Amino acid sequence: MPDPALHIVLYHPEIPQNTGNIGRLCVGLELRLHLVHPISFDIDEKAVRRAGLDYWKHVDLTEHADEASFWTWAEGRRVRLFSSHGAQSFTQCPYERGDVLVFGRETVGLPEELVAARGAWKIPMTGPIRSLNLGNAVSVVSYAALARVRPDVFS
């Protein structure tokens, strides 16, 4: 399979519906979805069929057994973390083709020490909420990044 414009990484996802929605987004935008284990649900063929995810077989999916295997794969790549604790808006991120966009768990986000060590981008909020739903956050960032790395999609 050819290299995708972007890699979407879910770091220990907890809610199968969010992962399913993000998988659908990845199919629609031809992005590669990465799941970093452990994850809190099954994604075997029987489980996704029962969930009605008839498009799941089309997801360009890479699974990483643990954090160490993910970071080994990511070495030498441009990794962009997204967190409600990020310093700058995702709109300021200098996206490039092949970027690895990493999103944290639904309940706690990315580990604080990871954000502190590597930095992160945020989706600004003006209302009285802490963050967006994971699926919404991935969608917002994916479209912003894709507009920069594949402007032909938007013409």
Question: Could you tell me if residue 97 is inside a domain?
Answer: yes
Paired tokens of 23: 């998988």
Could you tell me which of 97, 107, 106, 110 has the C-alpha nearest to residue 136?
A: 106
Task: With respect to residue 110, please indicate whether it lies within any of the assigned structural domains.
Answer: yes
* Rounded distance between C-alpha atoms, residue 97 and residue 53, angstroms: 28
**1 found inside a domain:** no
Structural domains of the chain, count: 1
pLDDT at residue 154 is higher than 90:
no
Q: Write down the pLDDT at residue 14.
A: 92
Q: What pLDDT digit, counting tens, does each position of 2-30 carry?
A: 799 999 999 999 988 889 899 999 999 99
Residue 133 lies in a domain: yes
Is residue 53 one of the residues assigned to a domain? yes
46-83 residue pLDDT tens: 666 665 578 888 999 999 999 999 999 999 999 999 99
Question: pTM of the full predicted structure?
Answer: 0.94
Contact, 122 vs 87, CB < 8 A?
yes
Helix (H) or strand (E) holding 91: none
Decide: residue 145, CB within 10 A, 0-12 exposed, 13-18 middle, 19+ buried: buried
DSSP 39-65: -SS--SHHHHHHTT-TTGGG-EEEEES
Which range marks the domain in which residue 124 is found? 6-154
> Looking at per-residue confidence, does 143 or 1 come out higher?
143
Look up the CATH number of the domain holding residue 43.
3.40.1280.10
Question: Is residue 126 included in any domain, yes or no?
Answer: yes
